[in-house]
Structure 1
Amino acid sequence: MQTSASSSQYLNGFSRVTVLPGLLIGAASLLMLAGCNSKAGAQAPGQGAPQAVPVPVVEVQPKPFELTFEYPAQISGVREVEIRPRVSGIIEKRLFEEGGRVKQGQSLYKLDNAPYETALAKALADQKTADVQAAQAKRDFNRIEPLIASKAVSQAEYDNAKSAVELAQANQAVAASRVREARLNLGYARVESPVSGYVSRSLKTEGSLVTGPQDLLTTVTQVDKVYANFGMPEGDNTTLREGLANGNIQLDKGGLKVEILNSEGKPNGMQARLAFQDVRVNTSTGTVDARALFDNKNDALSPGQFVRVRVSGAVEKNTILLPQRAVIESPMGGKIVMTVDKDSKVAPRPVKVAQWSGDQWVITSGLNAGDKVITDGYIKTPPGTPVAPQMQAAGNANKQAAPAAAPAAKQ
């Protein structure tokens, strides 16, 4: 079952229906007549007992009901990456079309790399020098090493030769690291995209000097998958949490389902499972942050776009549903229904409602299984009026009473 949102106003995640003025007037009349029930039912001397008025009723029967909630949501890319240079330099060329699609590893900017090519050449020369010095130190040590046993050289000369080898090897390692650094800097002169997606406008033009990571060049948003971020009202979250805790609510296999709705309030075919739900309540909004991850290979959704989502997949085991026509506004606030008591007389009953599904209200309190609720004719049958209940099937509860019953209600 699905929740209708087209003719309702949302409050704390649930909808409230606009009641026809006639129902308000009728409810007021009922309560005004309630104080003179004995007079309304009294008969003149010599007359018999009042005739029971036929009224259509439905018998309350709790049944499973799928809870659905609708919320506004905003789309964001699964990854939104800031493109920043890792080295300083002059931008020689922009290598992408603003607003276009780019691939992972694609070069977006080319910086002036002449200084980095020069630095690499110097590092390579220093590395070669270090290699030559290390080779010479090794040869000197190889000549001295056999002489130490015959004491042809002193221990100090041997130690100096060995230290020279170790120092030359250390210089080799330093030179090699400088070569790697120079190669990295030369590579960083080409600024690449770390993800595939759409690139935004360029914040720097050719000829601009960038000094390193502190300069933002552009952003790339990955949109093959997107998040729908929304806030779940605290009341809805509490209903789900408490229902799951006491066993009155069960989740579908896979958890809560989230659907994107189109402009007409109908699912557009994009579905996902709830990917994240915070345990904290946002103190500024009174909602619980949540989001779902959607496949967006056809680029149907754009980052920053506002949409509406429907959350479903939670089934309440024992839910009371009543036709909307059976629930009326009370002049003193709240909602009431007209029931048939054990003496077959009309008795008002205050109820609490949550949301409505199709043409039925979801009743959260005020009624029990087996109660009989009048669905039509209650304006002509004030509280205390004897009635003859005419049972209706649940599927016909929102239809007008049968023609045969209508004249009887107009006493």
Structure 2
Amino acid sequence: MPPTTLSALLLGASLLALPATAIAQAPAAPPPPSVEISTLKAREVPLSYTYAGRVSAFREVQVRAQVGGILKERAYVEGARVKAGDVLFRVDPTTYEAEVARAQAQLQTAEAQLAQASRDKVRAVELFSRQVGSQKTRDDALSAVDLAEAAVAAAKAQLKTAQINLDYATVRAPIDGVTSLDVVPEGSLIGVGTTDSLLTTITQLDPVYVNFSLNDTDVAEIRRIAEEQNNGASDIKLTANITFGDGKHYDKAGEIDFTSSSIDTQTGTIRSRAVFENPDLYLIPGQFVRVTVTGMKLASAIVVPEVAVMQGPQGKFVYTIDDKNVASITPVTLGAAVEGGWVVLDGLKSGDQVITSGVIKVRAGAPVAPGKATAQTEQAS
């Protein structure tokens, strides 16, 4: 018998000697993958919107001389904080003091002439009543009193003007703020024109403005939610918070006090402004910050955890499981990002269970082994 035939016979005999159970055994199916799930629940969801902003001064006032002359003194430190009414500059007052003295003398003269005209009037009226004096004399005396009274009024006006000019020789701060560098040094001849009257600039830094721009989509959403919250009224108080470039938060909240009524045709955004208290001058004009607008909320919304959202060729989706623990793909339409995940606009409802962990092993239509069910509201907190 050939050797090959003998080997075949021996192999067949050995196979016949094996137990039947060993021959029939096949590889077992893998167990369902372990996953963690989250049960969605409708809840009140606060909304926030974040934009790039820039700090600007609340007011910036140019301090100008209102009378001309030699600038004798600067009574403040450049860059220092000043209060409204503080003395900043003094112009040489000699000329204006002399004008006040001259106007006072003219007023005294006019008052003396009025007193004399009044006495003459009394005598003329008395003589006319006795039919001793003429009617013309009486009328002239009455007119003289009227002219003297007018002269007194004119003299008082001249004195007031001279006093105002003398007061203007002392330049005071019109507002609270921080002063700029000197524009003209002491000893300079200043005037009252547009080119030679500027002395310094005061910038009011408490409070300050933060300017930013809202996109038109957010504005439409804010107005819609505001009308829902206020039963048709669109007015709602929005607050703003600031985050700096290093991630630190400004400890004072601001209030939005202006929103443009038209859209910028170049950027497609709507200009807005918030006002912030700045007692420590921590906010500097020109500084770039992140502005977060708050004050809006959804009364009842579904929020899906961010880790549950997947991206596929047809868009975003999540894995959900049914009462038999079978996974399926559920397309979702998402809204704003909020604390705890994304607002679901379409695709999910309260009570749905979404897979939040172990999704890499999940296959649509295959069973899974959920480890625990976490309430969505607890996960968000």
Common fold by TM > 0.5: yes
| CA shift for structure 1 position 125 | 1.9
Question: Amino acid of the residue matched to residue 171 of structure 1?
Answer: A
Query: Per-residue CA shift, 1:322-347, capped at 9, x if unaligned?
Result: 22221122335x42223346994523
**What CA distance in whole angstroms lies between the structure 1 residues aligned with 2:231 and 2:319?**
29
Match of residue 100, structure 1, among 80, 83, 104: 80
**What CA distance in whole angstroms lies between the structure 1 residues aligned with 2:79 and 2:231?**
46
Aligned partner of 2:60 in structure 1 is: 80
Aligned partner of 2:119 in structure 1 is: 139
Question: Amino acid of the residue matched to residue 326 of structure 1?
Answer: A
Aligned partner of 2:3 in structure 1 is: none
Query: Per-residue CA shift, 1:11-70, capped at 9, x if unaligned?
Result: xxxxxxxxxxxxxxxxxxxxxxxxxxxxxxxxxxxxxx9997665433332211111222
The question of 1:152 aligning with 2:132 is answered yes
**What CA distance in whole angstroms lies between the structure 1 residues aligned with 2:90 and 2:229?**
61
Task: Return the index of the structure with the highest Cα Rg.
Answer: 2
Query: Per-residue CA shift, 1:200-254, capped at 9, x if unaligned?
Result: 112222343333263332111233433333333332222221012123999xxx9
Aligned to 2:253, the other structure's residue is in SS state: strand
Q: 1:196 to 1:267 in 2, by over 3 A?
A: same
2:225–2:297 CA contact under 8 A, matched in 1 = no
| CA shift for structure 1 position 279 | 5.2
Query: Per-residue CA shift, 1:347-382, capped at 9, x if unaligned?
Result: 341422322435x22333332333333334444444
1:278–1:290 CA contact under 8 A, matched in 2 = yes
1:316-335 equivalences under 5 Å are 316-331=298-313, 334-335=315-316
Match of residue 44, structure 2, among 46, 53, 64: 64
Could you tell which deviates more after superposition, 346-355 or 240-249?
240-249
1:340–1:372 CA contact under 8 A, matched in 2 = yes
The question of 1:278 aligning with 2:259 is answered yes
Aligned to 1:270, the other structure's residue is in SS state: coil
Could you tell which deviates more after superposition, 222-231 or 198-207?
222-231
Question: Amino acid of the residue matched to residue 170 of structure 1?
Answer: A
1:240–1:249 CA contact under 8 A, matched in 2 = no
Aligned to 2:192, the other structure's residue is in SS state: coil
Aligned partner of 1:30 in structure 2 is: none
Q: CA RMSD in A?
A: 3.2
Question: Amino acid of the residue matched to residue 94 of structure 2?
Answer: A
Query: Which residues of structure 1 form unaligned runs of 5+?
Result: 1-48, 400-411
| CA shift for structure 1 position 307 | 2.3
**What CA distance in whole angstroms lies between the structure 2 residues aligned with 1:166 and 1:260?**
68
TM-score, normalised relative to structure 1: 0.73
Q: 1:50 to 1:224 in 2, by over 3 A?
A: closer
The question of 1:269 aligning with 2:254 is answered no
1:339–1:346 CA contact under 8 A, matched in 2 = yes
1:260–1:307 CA contact under 8 A, matched in 2 = yes
2:316–2:333 CA contact under 8 A, matched in 1 = yes
Aligned partner of 1:365 in structure 2 is: 346
Aligned partner of 1:26 in structure 2 is: none
**What CA distance in whole angstroms lies between the structure 2 residues aligned with 1:366 and 1:204?**
70
Question: Amino acid of the residue matched to residue 222 of structure 2?
Answer: L
Aligned partner of 1:387 in structure 2 is: 367
| CA shift for structure 1 position 94 | 2.2
1:88–1:212 CA contact under 8 A, matched in 2 = yes
1:80–1:220 CA contact under 8 A, matched in 2 = yes
Aligned to 2:279, the other structure's residue is in SS state: coil
Query: Which residues of structure 2 form unaligned runs of 5+?
Result: 1-28
The question of 1:375 aligning with 2:368 is answered no
**What CA distance in whole angstroms lies between the structure 1 residues aligned with 2:227 and 2:200?**
48
2:41–2:376 CA contact under 8 A, matched in 1 = no
Q: 1:291 to 1:137 in 2, by over 3 A?
A: same
Question: Amino acid of the residue matched to residue 155 of structure 1?
Answer: Q
2:330–2:347 CA contact under 8 A, matched in 1 = no
**What CA distance in whole angstroms lies between the structure 2 residues aligned with 1:310 and 1:77?**
20
| CA shift for structure 1 position 199 | 0.6
| CA shift for structure 1 position 276 | 0.6
Q: 1:132 to 1:317 in 2, by over 3 A?
A: same
